[in-house]
Each structure stands twice: as C-alpha cells, then as structure tokens.
Structure 1
Amino acid sequence: MLQLLQPGSKHFSFAAFTLAIVVNVSLAGLIYGLTIGNSKQPIKDPLTINFRQFTDSTVEEQNNEPELEPIEEPQPITAALPPAVQATFDAPDISFNNSISLPAVSVPTFNVSPQLVDVTSAIQPEAVLAEPQIGLAKIRHKSNPEYPYKARRLKIEGYVLLHVLIDDAGRPKEIKVIEEQPRGYFAKASRKAVGRWEFEKTPAGTTEWKKVKLGFELN
C-alpha cells in the first residue's frame, strides 16, 4: 500500500506515522509482557499466628507454687507390756454322789367333818353377856369346807369354833369366830362353808345363836 502512495504526499506521511505507532506499541507490549511474567512469584498460603493471653494471676500461680518436701512417716512406737500374770487356784476336789434317792411323795387325804359339841362352859362370860343361852345347832343340810391349800401343803391340822346366828328360816345371818387353832389357817374356809348350811328353824320372828365346831384332819 505504501508503494501506491507517492513520497511527499499527505497520505504517505500519515500512513508512515500510523505504522510507526503500531510497531512501537507492539514492541512495548512485548517487552512489558516478558518483564512482568518473569517477575511474578508463586503465591503461598497465608500464615496464621494464634496468640494466647495469660493473666498475671495465672503466671504468678505457676511461678509461686512452692515445691513440697516429702514428709517422713513417723515410726510406730511399741510399748513393752508387762508379762501376763497367771493366777492359779487350788480348788478342792468335789465329788458328787449321783445315787441320791428321793423320798416317796404321798398325796395326803383329809377328812373335814363338823363336830357338834357343847362348849358353853369354855366360853368366857363377857363374850356371851348380851346374848341369850347358846345351845347346839341342829343341822339340816351341810357341805364340807375345802381343806386350805397352805395348811395341806404344810400338813397342818386344827379346828375352828364358831357362833352362828340363825333366823326363823334356818339360815345363818351372822358368823363369829370364837376360837381357831392354829390361827390363820382354817377360819376363812369354815365361815364360807357354814354360811351355806341350813339349820333347824327357830320360832317365827326369832333368832338364836348356835355353836359349831369344825375339825380339820389329814388322813
């Protein structure tokens, strides 16, 4: 195209100027690309740094912990005990006789029967001063008293003398213990038994004192 243009013309000058600019720009771009490509360095991973903050108290505790010295264990103290004292006793030789014979135990039998006796002369005058003449009681129905357990166990015998006030129906109204031998064994059982007896009736509207003697004997 430059051959077609004549030198010295305006078109020729403009074309030459344009071509020179293109060539210069191309060379500049080539040189820049070569320079920048060689200067690039490989990109590395970013470096991460972690920081840990310690307080003053933590540092002081770590620095101020005293070293513990080992403690020696005390040795056990052993006390010497006095020698044991052995006591000796001289026990007498006791021999037991196994051939001990017990006496035969026999169950006693007893007989309790009322004895109607005239004991008016044996009664003191002051004991019958305000009472009418006392005679023997005639019994229509009676039951024997029980032999007291204590007297039977101790094998004690005795008797009781009673004065009995009888009404017109023949029933005891009052019983007095005049004499008891031995004392404290037979009076209670005698009064309980005589209180259930029936005697001969007295005249209507009257009462009479009668004597009753009970003997307690073991057969």
Structure 2
Amino acid sequence: MAITIRNKQPMMASMAGSPTFAAMLRSKEVRRPRGWLVALFSSLTLSTAIFCGMHALINGGGHGVEKRDNLPTIDFVRLKRDTNVTPNERRKPPPPPPPKSPPPTAKMSVATDTSTASAGIEVPGNLDLSASTGDGGPSVGTGMSDGDLVPLQRVNPVYPQEARRNKIEGYVKLELVISPEGGVIGAKIMESKPKGLFDSAAVQAVYKWRFKPKTVDGRAVEQKGTQRVVFELTK
C-alpha cells in the first residue's frame, strides 16, 4: 500500500496570488476597527448612565423627605443638688419594760433537838437555835458539848415551786441517824405541815449534811437526833 504525502505550501501560494483571497483579507482588516469602536461607545454610554442615576439619587431623587417644623423638642435641664439635706436620724428602740418584782424568797430554819443519843449518855437539849446564814437560808442549832449534834456542813433545802407559787409555809420534823464519821445514814419523818408538801425537799437536804462525830471514851460512836426544818417566805 502506497502513502502519498502532499505538500500544502504550493497550494497556499497559489491562493495568495488569487484576487478573491486578497479581497477577503482586506475586508477583515476594515471590519476589525469597527468592533472596537462599538465596544468603546457602549461602555461610555453605560458609564454615563450609571453616573447620572447615582447623581439623581443623591441630590434630588425624591421629595419624600419633608421638613417638619412642628416636631416636639426636648430640653434637658440640670437640677442643682441640695447639699443641706439632713440625714435621717436612726430611731432609738424604746426602753425595755421594767422587770417584774421578783417572787418572795424562801426563808427556811432548822431546829435541832438532841433529846436522844446512843450509848445511853444524856445529851442536853437546850441548843441555840438563833444561828442563821443571813441570806434567807436555813438556821441550824449548834451544841456546846462534845456529845451534841454539831453541824459541820449544811445544804439549804430547795423551796418547792408549788409552795412558793401559792405562798405556802410549813415545817418538817425528822429523826436523823448520824454515823461515827458524821454523815447522815438515816432520816425518818416524824411530823410535817402541810403533810407531804415539804417532805422530799427536807429529806434530800439533810442527807447532804455532815455533823461532828460523837465520841465516847475517845471512840466515835453512832448518834441520833431530831431536826425541825421550817419553810418560811420572807415578807
């Protein structure tokens, strides 16, 4: 199979020499400047139109904004602060009411009777009952001899609240058993008035008392005696 290669250059040279081809080239050269002129004119026209439109919008585009002279005006007035304002005085709380008068205090006295004693020794019963604590507490009799009931430590009975509230007075008479060491090891109620009102207070008090031990032939012995606890209210 044979391949034929043709040379196009003689063909182009022959076409260049023809009058038709030359006329076509001249027509293209004439039309090319006309396209540039049209584009330039169009761009100038469009730019001018845009510029005129913006100018109209900015300067006078509308009569929509009207000047109103009847609009209210606001005036700001600065007030002068008064510097002579007196501060509010803090009210003082009212004074507390005077305290109520305290209830009457209890005055309790204790009488001592040593008519009986252990070991068959006679003990004088004439005891001094005038000794008192001076503060409304109990008064306790004291003996003068070695065999008498001599209190060394006393605890005041507590006045019952019911009796204090109702202003009731009374007494309790007790028989006490004193150990050789001087402590109370037994208390028996012999008499009380009003019955049962002051019994508990009197018994609780005497069990905390201590007495001087009784000695016989140089030896401490047990002893007995009676105590009368009187409950009184000071006037």
**Which bracket does the TM-score occupy, shorter chain normalised?**
0.3 to 0.5
Q: Which one has a bigger Cα radius of gyration?
A: 1
